[in-house]
């Protein structure tokens, strides 16, 4: 069966073999997105409740595979299984390196946490990037890695989830384009754009300049008042 309609830009291509794993009878990418979204909500509820969502357990391969199964198991027969093939295009590490790379990510994450190398949001953003760079699964890597970063923020750091530029949409948009470009920069070691994107509440970020000018004016007025009093 083939899915019709537009697949999101930057989305990993699904092979005929991947599509054979589809559980419900869906016809379009739109329907697929909806079915996955409903499943992801259930996966998120599980992850927020589960006692296994804690450091260091959540860095294990087993946890990451379970999270994928919980997020996509109603839709894909291969949910929770490591990607068994490589892509013609440059996405993800070679499939036989997925498990070694997940272990390297676990070790790096534990080191970063123990040494407070990064602020919580930067740590979560870097872990999210590395997960999506590894691309452990046939599909769903972007959404899983963003939820995973949010789980670190909420469950480990006891902070609010990341705003992700107001949310990464599944359809073609400026937001998705900029997010994908920022991920590419991060692949090359430059995290500036990705950090800005993931921490922004809206995208493109609201212009701060006029408000700053107003604040400066207010400060000047206060200073004038102080001068008057003196």
Residues at the contact surface with ligand ADP, assessed by CB under 6 A: 10-12, 132-133, 139-143, 180, 183-184, 187
Instruction: Say which DSSP state 91 is in.
Output: -
184 binds, among ligand ADP, Mg ion, none (CB under 5 to 8 A by kind): ligand ADP
Taking the least distance from each CB to ligand ADP, the nearer of 39 and 121 is: 39
| Overall residue count recorded for the chain in this entry | 230
Taking the least distance from each CB to Mg ion, the nearer of 39 and 139 is: 139
133 binds, among Mg ion, ligand ADP, none (CB under 5 to 8 A by kind): ligand ADP
Task: Please pick, from the candidates 3, 11, 82, 154, the single residue that binds Mg ion as defined by CB under 5 A.
Answer: 11
- Which residues contact residue 170 at a Cβ distance below 8 angstroms, ignoring those fewer than 6 apart? 8, 11, 33, 176
List of long-range contacts for 63-67, beta carbons under 8 Å, 24+ apart: 64/102, 64/131, 64/136, 64/144, 64/148, 65/136, 67/43, 67/144, 67/147, 67/148
> Closest-CB residue for Mg ion?
11
Least distance in angstroms from the C-beta of 161 to ligand ADP = 16
Taking the least distance from each CB to ligand ADP, the nearer of 54 and 184 is: 184
Residue corresponding to tokens 């595979």: 65
Which CA distances in Å does 77 have to 15, 19, 27, 133, 147?
14, 10, 17, 23, 21
Taking the least distance from each CB to Mg ion, the nearer of 11 and 193 is: 11
Task: Please pick, from the candidates 139, 145, 170, 175, the single residue that binds Mg ion as defined by CB under 5 A.
Answer: 139
39 near Mg ion, judged by CB under 5 A: no
CA 4 to chain centre: 26
Taking the least distance from each CB to Mg ion, the nearer of 73 and 120 is: 73
Binding residues for Mg ion, rule: CB under 5 A, are 11, 139
């Amino acid at each position: 069966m083939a899915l019709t309609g537009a697949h999101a830009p930057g989305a990993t291509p699904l092979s005929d073999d991947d599509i054979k794993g589809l559980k419900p009878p869906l016809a379009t990418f739109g329907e697929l997105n909806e079915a996955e979204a409903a499943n992801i909500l259930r996966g998120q509820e599980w992850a927020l409740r589960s006692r296994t969502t804690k450091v260091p357990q959540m860095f294990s391969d087993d946890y990451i595979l379970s999270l994928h199964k919980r997020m996509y198991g109603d839709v894909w027969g291969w949910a929770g299984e490591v990607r068994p093939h490589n892509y013609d295009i440059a996405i993800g590490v070679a499939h036989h390196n997925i498990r070694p790379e997940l272990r390297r990510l676990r070790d790096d994450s534990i080191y970063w946490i123990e040494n407070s190398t990064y602020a919580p949001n930067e740590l979560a953003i870097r872990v999210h990037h590395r997960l999506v760079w590894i691309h452990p699964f046939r599909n769903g890597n972007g959404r899983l890695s963003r939820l995973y970063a949010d789980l670190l923020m909420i469950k480990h750091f006891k902070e609010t989830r990341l705003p992700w530029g107001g949310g990464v949409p599944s359809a073609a948009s400026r937001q998705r384009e900029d997010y994908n470009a920022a991920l590419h920069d991060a692949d090359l070691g430059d995290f500036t754009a990705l950090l800005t994107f993931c921490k922004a509440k809206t995208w493109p970020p609201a212009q701060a300049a006029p408000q700053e000018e107003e604040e400066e004016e207010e400060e000047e007025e206060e200073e004038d008042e102080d001068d008057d009093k003196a």
